[in-house]
Amino acid sequence: MITTLRLGLASLNQTPLDWGGNLARIRAVVAQARAQQTHILCLPELALTGYGCEDAFLHEDTAVRAKRHLLELAAEVQDQVVLVGFPLRLNQALYNGLALCAEGRVQAIFCKSYLARQGIHYEPRWFDAWPSGRLEQVTFADEAIPVGSFTTAYGDFIFSSEICEDAWVTRDKRNCRLATDAHFIFNASASHFSMGKADIRENLVRDSSRDFGVGYGYANLLGCESGRAIYDGECLFAVDGRIVQRGERLQCSDGAVTVYDFPYSARPAAVATCAVQLAPAALGDLPAPAPARGERDARDEDEAFAKAASTALIDYMRKSYSRGFTLSLSGGVDSSTVAVLVAVAAHRIVNEVPAETRQRWFGYFPALLEACDSPQRLMKVLLTTVYQGTRNSGTVTRHAAAALAEALGANHLALDVDPMVAAYTQAITGALQRPLTWDRDDIALQNIQARSRGPSVWMLANLSGSLLLSTSNRSEVAVGYATMDGDTCGGLSPIAGVAKSFLRRWLVRVGREGVAGLAPVDALRFVNEQEPTAELRPPDAAQEDEKDLMPYAVLDSLEEALIGRRQSLRDTYLILGKRFAGTYRADQLLAWSVKFCRMFSTSQWKRERYAPAFHLDDSNLDPKTWARYPILSGCFSTEIHELQQEFGAVDP
């Protein structure tokens, strides 16, 4: 006999340690699931506390409060089963737990066996790994309950659970290999977004259902939770090796429930072996489910980048209670990209976020709420741009900045910072008793221009209570091609994790086709027709970024191989030789390889000081979440010497 249960997966946009807010959002999705007559609902990993609490997990009070809120929530769960992620403290150990709440109490707790410890993840610092397959009876809230790995019978429906990383290990280690009688496996996850990762995650869910002969459900966090990582909130159901239902990816919301009516055949003999046995709720006839969405929308990483970054900007602004954004708009690719991302955010706030949610999110910012009748009107409130010119600034960039700001609807200002530059220069000239010249003092004279722009733009941000956005990209972050306390000024660096070559291509597409609901921005042609330049040397120097550094395609390839893929310098050079054969000479590629190594090594201290950056690509250089390199090092000296000896010494 085939029976059908309605199963639910929730996405949640949580904030670490926002106890009342997190609980309210959980209650909201539980209510959504109840309204849809969902029998079993799985929430994301560590939903009660937020996933990104970091060292706050080491505070005993965090687990104490989480337990208190869990028991409060469990008492409200009467006619459903709800799986809730939280930190579980047992004796002196802390586990990543998933509480099974039903019939007004916590019935059991699944525990995570494999802890994520690569890339942005650092779970072993805070959590202990529960031995895979172990099941214990533990006293929790004065009751003895099962804790660990087990199966649960909901009537004659049998299910178990994994927690995020438990699914990313090899098949022979996975907890669900032990749940041989289960009909379904729930996975409570906090799986971060990065461009290109959606296909990998989807294959994991699809293959899990096929390899273990179960239905498989994957619930994920949503939004910019704690400042760097972004979660796409896509919830997935798979049966027999195919995706049968999915939730919306990268939506602007507090959370949503995705349901699937799962058919199964009873296995009466297996029910008795389950550690937990629950009576199914009498929910009556199920209403019609939402239309099935087995196929994902077009796999467009340009769209994904725009949606992820704009979602993160919205979340970062509202969670930090900032009143919009301030941006030093130079008329170049980087600052123009950031301005466009804010415009995408404005369009999404107006067109995707319901009025009730806007009130909840932006109640502290009345001017924003009043301007939500159109994206253009909202942009006047949301974004202030400022072009800060010196005698070395050109009319092309000045016009490009003004035209783009007007096209996007930003509030645009123009400042002449040359008097400040002159004052600093004159002061130092007097102190040193010599004139400063470009032949002798090139870097210092470039830097003072960028640095003189910092106080003005910070002042504008302070006056409005807005968030100052920095504009460094990953290519320039890699080699320290930025002025500290100048173009690095800001409280947030949205594109510091994205390569320049990607941004240049992306901005051309936005200009021609638009992106993520934003119409084509014709004014971007004034940006895209230029060669990237810092405009810090006199005009007759014809300064260009790629002349100062190397072609961005080469720079990005070096960073990808040497840092992203952790290849040796020799192998990296050989990769370059194959990739750029016929385009650049071997001795030139060798010189650029040497230059990159030295610039990367000596600029680690700069990366330590950059404003927080969104994690948008798994080649991130953020030293807190991805690329942890020493500030002082040998700077690849031995590797460079060996490379030059083997392939011919060059003057770096």
Strand partners, 102: 81, 105
Residue 623 to residue 534: CA distance in whole angstroms: 25
CA distances from 433 to 421, 426, 427 (A): 18, 10, 10
Considering the domain architecture, whether residues 123 and 22 belong to the same structural domain is answered as yes
Residue 341 to residue 327: CA distance in whole angstroms: 12
Check if the beta carbon of residue 258 is closer than 8 Å to that of residue 292: no
Considering the domain architecture, whether residues 512 and 606 belong to the same structural domain is answered as no
Q: Is residue 38 part of a domain?
A: yes
- Choose one of 546, 580, 607: the last residue of a domain: 546
Q: Which of 126, 76, 123, 128 is nearest to 103 (CA)?
A: 76
Angle at 152 between CA 148 and CA 157, to 5 degrees: 155
Domains of the chain: total: 3
Check if the beta carbon of residue 258 is closer than 8 Å to that of residue 289: no
CATH number for the domain spanning 370: value is: 3.40.50.620
- Choose one of 527, 546, 565: the last residue of a domain: 546
Considering the domain architecture, whether residues 164 and 228 belong to the same structural domain is answered as yes
- Residues 6+ away with beta carbon under 8 Å from 223: 13, 230, 231, 233, 311, 312, 315
Residue 219 to residue 85: CA distance in whole angstroms: 11
Q: Is residue 54 part of a domain?
A: yes
Considering the domain architecture, whether residues 147 and 231 belong to the same structural domain is answered as yes
Token readout for 290 is 């939402």
Residue 33 to residue 82: CA distance in whole angstroms: 10
Q: Is residue 87 part of a domain?
A: yes
Considering the domain architecture, whether residues 569 and 538 belong to the same structural domain is answered as no
Question: CB count, 10 Å around CB of 522?
Answer: 12
Q: Is residue 361 part of a domain?
A: yes
Token readout for 207 is 């293959």
Polymer length in residues for the chain: 652
Considering the domain architecture, whether residues 363 and 426 belong to the same structural domain is answered as yes
Residue 129 to residue 135: CA distance in whole angstroms: 13
Angle at 47 between CA 44 and CA 51, to 5 degrees: 95
Q: Is residue 396 part of a domain?
A: yes
Check if the beta carbon of residue 389 is closer than 8 Å to that of residue 418: yes
Residue 435 to residue 423: CA distance in whole angstroms: 13
Q: Which of 396, 243, 264, 386 is nearest to 326 (CA)?
A: 386
Angle at 217 between CA 199 and CA 299, to 5 degrees: 20
H or E element, residue 98: strand 93-102
Q: Which domain holds residue 489?
A: 301-546
Q: Is residue 42 part of a domain?
A: yes
217: phi then psi, degrees, rounded to nearest 5: -125, 135
DSSP designation for 331: S
Considering the domain architecture, whether residues 527 and 587 belong to the same structural domain is answered as no
DSSP designation for 491: S
Q: Are strands 143-148 and 105-111 parallel, antiparallel or unpaired?
A: parallel
What one-letter code names the amino acid at 46? L
Q: What is the DSSP track for 418-447?
A: HHHHHHHHHHHHHHHTS---HHHHHHHHHH
Check if the beta carbon of residue 382 is closer than 8 Å to that of residue 357: no
Q: Which of 289, 396, 306, 399 is nearest to 345 (CA)?
A: 306
**pLDDT at site 299:** 60
Considering the domain architecture, whether residues 557 and 532 belong to the same structural domain is answered as no
**pLDDT at site 1:** 66
**pLDDT at site 649:** 56
Considering the domain architecture, whether residues 539 and 556 belong to the same structural domain is answered as no
Q: Is residue 1 part of a domain?
A: no
Check if the beta carbon of residue 475 is closer than 8 Å to that of residue 499: yes
Check if the beta carbon of residue 225 is closer than 8 Å to that of residue 199: no
Angle at 59 between CA 57 and CA 64, to 5 degrees: 90
Considering the domain architecture, whether residues 214 and 322 belong to the same structural domain is answered as no
Q: Longest C-alpha distance within the chain, in Å?
A: 95
Q: Which of 251, 252, 388 is nearest to 318 (CA)?
A: 252
Stretches in the chain below the pLDDT threshold 70: 1, 283-286, 296-299, 649-652
- Tell me if residue 215 falls in helix, strand or coil: strand
Q: Is residue 291 part of a domain?
A: no
Check if the beta carbon of residue 4 is closer than 8 Å to that of residue 35: no
Strand partners, 110: 98, 148
Considering the domain architecture, whether residues 432 and 485 belong to the same structural domain is answered as yes
- Choose one of 504, 529, 546: the last residue of a domain: 546
Considering the domain architecture, whether residues 486 and 620 belong to the same structural domain is answered as no
- Tell me if residue 150 falls in helix, strand or coil: coil
